[in-house]
Amino acid sequence: MSGFEHNPFAEPVDVNPFQDPSVTQVTDTSADGIGEFNPFTASSLDGRTIPIATTQPAVLQTTVESSPQASAAAGQAELLRQQEELEKKAAELERKEQELRDRDRGTTQGKQNNWPPLPRFFPIKPCFYQDFDEEIPGDFQRVCRMLYYLWMYHSVTLFLNLLACLAYFTLSPQNGVDFGLSILWFILFTPGAFVCWYRPVYKAFRSDSSFNFFFFFFIFSFQVIVYIIQSVGIPSWGNSGWITALSMINTNILVSVFMMVVAGFFTANAVLSVILLKLVHSMYRRTGASFQKAQEEFSQGVVTNRTFQSAAATAASAAVR
């Protein structure tokens, strides 16, 4: 009956809920050392010092991208610069072509025709301008000079042939035909070889002309055949070749030996011509020349030729009349 001894009508007793033992045990901070722990201090629970890391803050790298307007302006400036360079190169090529055309006519300022090298008081003036170092590219100068020396050797051979045929005619008056023809060959073939095959190959090397290359091959091939015929020495053909030289052994040994020397010169001409023809042909194949380019150059040369134009105009006016 003890539970009923409490008087419900008595004054209420003030009860502090925070004085409850379960609450005070939780809130009491004196029992452990974590109540006043500051995680931002430099000391730990065991008394050791923990160093504070000092690192630099991360910096974001910013990239500056060019705007489309700036890119377009830079591209336009580059195109303008390339166009200026192309215009300069075109002007330089035009100037060189004009100099070559003027040089062919002998009107280049300060560069008059210098071949053949005749004295100034001589009534006949030089007809051609020739300068290997200036006009011929370095890769072709050696072969071009060799062809020039071959022409000189050709001229000396024809002169010696004239003398040999003169000696042959002196001992055998019935062989006057050989002497007459030897004079004709010397007069015709000396300048003819220079104009017909040496000058074309010189101009071909100078201006990389396909037409001049083809013209040289055509004429020089016949020249090789002529050298072979001259070295053989067919009687009454005006050549001191091996046949005519051997026929004079029993008549006069000195004249026969001299004629054999001339026959050897003709043979050397033929051999050297074949070698140089092969060299020129190999260089011609490396230059990119072709028969089509030769046709184009020929047609352009004919159309722009003043003589052809005047002749066509005269024919047209005559037809109208």
Structure tokens at 238: 């005006």
What does pLDDT average to over the chain? 77
- Size of the chain in residues: 321
Give the CA distances from residue 248 to residues 17, 227, 231, 255, 260, in Å, rounded to whole numbers and listed in that order: 161, 21, 16, 7, 10
Model confidence at 310, pLDDT cuts 50, 70, 90, reads: low
The rounded Cα 304 to chain-centroid distance in angstroms is 28
Contact 129, 121 (CB under 8 A): no
* DSSP-based three-state secondary structure for 203: helix
- Span 70-80, pLDDT tens digits: 777 787 888 88
Q: Kindly write down the DSSP assignment for every residue of 84-140, as one continuous string.
A: HHHHHHHHHHHHHHHHHHHHHTT--TT----BS---TTSSSPP-B---HHHHS-TTT
Residue 121 scores a pLDDT above 90: no
Model confidence at 300, pLDDT cuts 50, 70, 90, reads: low
pLDDT at 68 (0 to 100): 74
Residue 45 scores a pLDDT above 50: no
Higher pLDDT, 317 or 198: 198
pLDDT at 308 (0 to 100): 40
pLDDT at 107 (0 to 100): 44
Model confidence at 18, pLDDT cuts 50, 70, 90, reads: low
Q: Is 110 left (phi over 0), alpha (psi -120 to 50) or beta?
A: left
What's the pTM?
0.60
- Span 141-172, pLDDT tens digits: 999 999 999 999 999 999 999 999 999 999 98
Contact 219, 200 (CB under 8 A): yes
Structure tokens at 100: 């070559």
Contact 144, 201 (CB under 8 A): yes
Domain boundaries of the chain, sorted by first residue: 85-129, 137-297
Model confidence at 39, pLDDT cuts 50, 70, 90, reads: low
pLDDT at 182 (0 to 100): 96
